[in-house]
Amino acid sequence: MTDETAFQPAADPEVVLTPPVIERVRQGVAIAQQPVVRQCIAHDLAELSAIAQGTADQRVSGRFRRWALRRLIKSLFRVRIEQPEHIPTGPNVLTANHLSHLDPFLMLAFCPPHPYYYILGDARTLYNKRWKRWLIDWAGGVIPLERWWKEEIAVMVAADNGRDDLKPLATQIRDHVPNGSSIQQMRQIDQAVQALLKRGDGLMLFPEGRLGENEGRMHLPLKRGTVLYAMRSGVPIHPVAIIGTKTLYFRKRLTLRFGPPVHVPHQSRPKRVAIDRALADLEQAFQDLLPPNYQEPDGPKFFSNWLNHLFW
């Protein structure tokens, strides 16, 4: 058995294996095996190699990408921008809480076209639908992560602890879903990130590493990769609070609240103390931005089921 197949993080105690959760895991395993998804991942990883080597990658104009996404988002929702004076204009790591798979498209639609942002995100949720694959193939600017979902880890742990009904599914996960421990792929991503930040682009990511369960709350602790990318490249981290995307419906008011930058020391080999301090500063920055008592608006919620599934 290789180190990669032996790798298995601890199960998240918040994950409850209800029938809908198990069905989502089955869908995720099926997505991981789709040839078109594998082709998309291979294509975008090749683009990362081009970036790392200093070769221009294929991407649409940042201005045109923003225009197209803004037209899409504004046709479905109302969007409010708060504290626009903190919107970054230079290379940075743009971070946000994560409530919906709409979030990266929302941010790209309302951030300036320069710097040009690359989305670091879960490969299967980026490529799981035809319209997303078409959009990403057209626009470029994606860094795919292959990893086990928290629900998949819960399935494997449950199977190991006696849930015989889940053992076939657990075997499929181990056999067909990359677990995210590939050192070669992580090194490839790190080199590409440093190269794109050095040339003046930006990196967009969601430091929770998962979808949040509730408006106004983040899943802590945040992932260390966020500050590692910033520290190695010597760029600031810009926090953005996304408000309203947990439950979507037609013409709902969504909010992007920008915060002041979190400055981190430039270290090619970041020290543990500096990493922990930067993470604490970033967590505090999000606490200052997120609404403490979010209330879902009253009134009819037209097309809610359709919109929430559209951006799954």
Q: Is the pLDDT of residue 247 over 90?
A: yes
Output the average pLDDT for the chain. Answer: 92
**Is residue 244 within 8 Å of residue 295, measured between CB atoms?**
no
Please state, in angstroms and rounded to a whole number, the distance separating the CA atoms of residues 308 and 174.
29
Question: By mean pLDDT, which of 10-14, 94-98, 260-264 is the weakest?
Answer: 10-14
**Percent of residues, the chain, with pLDDT higher than 70:** 96
pTM, whole model, 2 decimals? 0.90
What is the per-residue pLDDT across 14-69, written as a single tens digit (0 to 9) for each? Answer: 788 999 999 999 999 999 999 999 999 998 888 888 888 888 778 889 999 999 99
| Element containing residue 162 per DSSP (H, E) | none
pLDDT attached to residue 7: 58
pLDDT attached to residue 55: 81
**Bridge-partner residues for 30, per DSSP?**
none
**Is residue 144 within 8 Å of residue 41, measured between CB atoms?**
yes
| Residue closest to 45 by CA, chosen among 172, 178, 151 | 178
Please report which confidence band the pLDDT of residue 6 belongs to, taking 50, 70 and 90 as the band edges: low
pLDDT attached to residue 232: 95
Tell me the average pLDDT across 141-145: 91
Please state, in angstroms and rounded to a whole number, the distance separating the CA atoms of residues 139 and 144.
14
Tell me which DSSP letter residue 251 carries.
Answer: T
Q: Residue 21 class from Cβ within 10 Å (0-12 exposed, 13-18 middle, 19+ buried)? A: middle
What is the per-residue pLDDT across 84-127, written as a single tens digit (0 to 9) for each? Answer: 999 999 999 999 999 999 999 999 999 999 999 999 999 999 99
Highest mean pLDDT among 56-70, 162-176, 203-217: 162-176
Q: Is the pLDDT of residue 3 over 80?
A: no
Count of residues in the chain: 312
Preceding peptide of 236 cis, ω within 30°: no
